[in-house]
Amino acid sequence: MTDPRIAAALALTTLATLSLASFAMAPPALAQHSLTDDDDDDDDDEPCMTSHRMRQFLAGKGYSNIKLNSPIGDTWQASATKGAASYLVWVDTCSSRITRTSKRGSL
């Protein structure tokens, strides 16, 4: 039989070792994220819509042969055809709406 004092000392040593080991482990995933007001996901260089989603949006409005031009803020300009006419179309990528259209040749 084991002496109860030895068993108690062994249990206490094991408990102390496990307690210290828990401090050396990696922090939980939530603790690795910043809780500040800095919004790293709000990258001003990236549009709210992807180029693929914008092409789908314009195609759903009846446009084809869609070519995207450079963005100006959250607004992208695209050249596209609808029927036999060619257009310049401005899309607000964050509100998912067409803000302006202009028939090509009549800016």
Which of the two residues, 67 and 15, has the higher pLDDT score?
67
Sign, CA torsion 72/76/105/101 = negative
Is 74 inside a domain boundary? yes
What are residue 77's phi and psi, to 5 degrees? Answer: -100, 140
Tens of pLDDT, residue by residue over 48-57, are 888 899 999 9
Is the pLDDT at 76 greater than 80? The verdict is yes
Mean pLDDT of 42-49: 64
Looking at residue 65, the DSSP 8-state letter turns out to be: E
Is 94 inside a domain boundary? yes
Q: CA 61 to CA 99: how far, in whole Å?
A: 13
Is 6 inside a domain boundary? no
Is 16 inside a domain boundary? no
Is 98 inside a domain boundary? yes
Sorting pLDDT into bands at 50, 70 and 90, what band is 23? low
Q: CA 82 to CA 89: how far, in whole Å?
A: 11
The count of domains in the chain is 1
Is 90 inside a domain boundary? yes
pTM: 0.54
Is 21 inside a domain boundary? no
